[in-house]
Amino acid sequence: MTASSPSSAPSPIPLAAAVALSFFVWGVLGVLVGSILPEVTADLALSSFEAGLIFVVWSFGFATGSAAAERLLRLAAAHRLLLVLSTATGIAALAQTQAPTFLVFGALYTALGLFGGAVFTASHTLFGTLFPARRTSALGVLDLVFSGGNIVAPLLVVGLVASEASWRVSFGLIGAAFLVCALAFAFGGRAAAAESAASDADAQDTPGAEATKAAAAKPADKALLAALAAGAFGLGATEWAQHVWFVTFALEAGADDAFARIALSTFTAGMVAARIAAIALGDRMRSAIVVRGLLALALAGHAAMLTAPGGVPLLVANLALGLGVGAMLPVFLGLAMDTDPARAAASSAVMIVSLTIGGQLASFTVGTLAEFFGVLVAFPVAFGAVAIMAAGFEAFRILAARRSADASRTTVTARG
């Protein structure tokens, strides 16, 4: 039995588990600072401007790290890069427990964002490589695990507040968790190296080998990347505008506090449900009918949310919006990796950078308009982000289908 036979090939599960654990911890960290911001503000005597700046520097670091990771992956294997990044993140989080001033806190938080952006690009690329036959499902798992971390973060903060622990303890726990992730990547590294060796041996005879080599030889399709960037920009803007401004919008529209937060939770529930569907259905989620249905659901959900009188219609509208956008990242990143396998890391970087920029711009734009015209006038502007997402992703789907058809004709001609 050869090393490349399926029964002897090492399992990718240990390394995949390390990536999933890392994403869970990043999911916790992603919303942690928002939950402990009042305590941080009081302890470090922050102004409102400085408190808001924390999220700006985080986003700047995240986008920069994601773009840098695409180049770093040309120099080092993904699992080795993730080991280094997890170690660095753990050290930075532990250092945050001793931050004496806003400048130190902000610098460390920028570093955390930088490492986070690089981790996301490297992790998406690695997962797409580990599970090439079920990329959409695999990437959907990462999204779902990240959502789990988002849900746990507020519970962690509630526990810390109840025990009267300092906000610094949360960063100590996060730092320790990331060091555990580093150990998990070290453990999974051997399997990854063996898996890569086996894949290289098999690749010479697999049907996809010729397509991968051809993709590497062709220049990047700028139209494809532009459409992918536009879709991801709209997706990030939609999610951030909803998470940051919906409760304020609902309160101004007359909803009570509890109902406004429940309505936002239905949006999150819709996103989680869509990600579970992406895991279960896999590549069937990429069909034109399903994708167009999801995009139409997002558009209809957001439009209905702006006109809903409240009550059940508002809950249903938010659920529809969450269902429409929840699976867009795994669906289109998986499609991008299949369309251009040689540039999987670049596709991930483009999506993450665009998501981050879209989210920050949406939050800033709605906030600025609300300052002058009120949130009831400003929030509907977010519908434009949904439209940009729908147009960008639909354009990408069409262009990807044409490219795949052209590649198939070229392969058939060459073999003939």
Return per-residue pLDDT of the chain as tens, 416 residues.
444 444 445 577 888 899 999 999 999 998 788 778 888 888 999 887 788 788 888 888 998 999 899 889 888 888 899 999 999 999 999 999 999 999 999 999 999 999 999 999 999 888 888 887 788 888 888 888 988 888 888 788 888 878 888 999 999 999 999 999 999 999 887 655 555 554 444 434 333 334 434 444 455 578 888 999 999 999 999 998 888 888 888 888 888 878 888 888 889 889 999 999 988 888 788 888 999 999 999 999 999 999 887 788 999 999 999 999 999 998 998 888 888 887 888 888 899 999 999 988 888 888 888 888 888 988 899 999 999 999 999 999 998 888 777 655 554 455 55
The structure tokens listed for 47 are: 């102004």
3-state secondary structure of 122: helix
Is the entire prediction scored with pTM above 0.75?
A: yes
Contacts of 373 (CB under 8 A, 6+ apart): none
The kind and range of the H/E element at 273 are helix 257-281
Give the whole-angstrom CA distance, residue 326 versus residue 278. Answer: 9
Give the whole-angstrom CA distance, residue 146 versus residue 282. Answer: 18
Q: What is the DSSP letter of 221?
A: -
User: Contact, 61 vs 112, CB < 8 A?
Assistant: yes
Q: Among all chains, which residue has been given the structure tokens 């139409």?
A: 296
Alpha helix positions (H), 131-256 = 135-162, 167-203, 208-217, 222-252
Q: Which of 312, 302, 274 is nearest to 381 (CA)?
A: 302
Report pLDDT for 115.
96
Cα angle for residues 32, 179, 31 (degrees, 5° grid): 10
**φ and ψ at residue 8, rounded to 5 degrees:** -105, -10
Q: Is 311 left (phi over 0), alpha (psi -120 to 50) or beta?
A: left
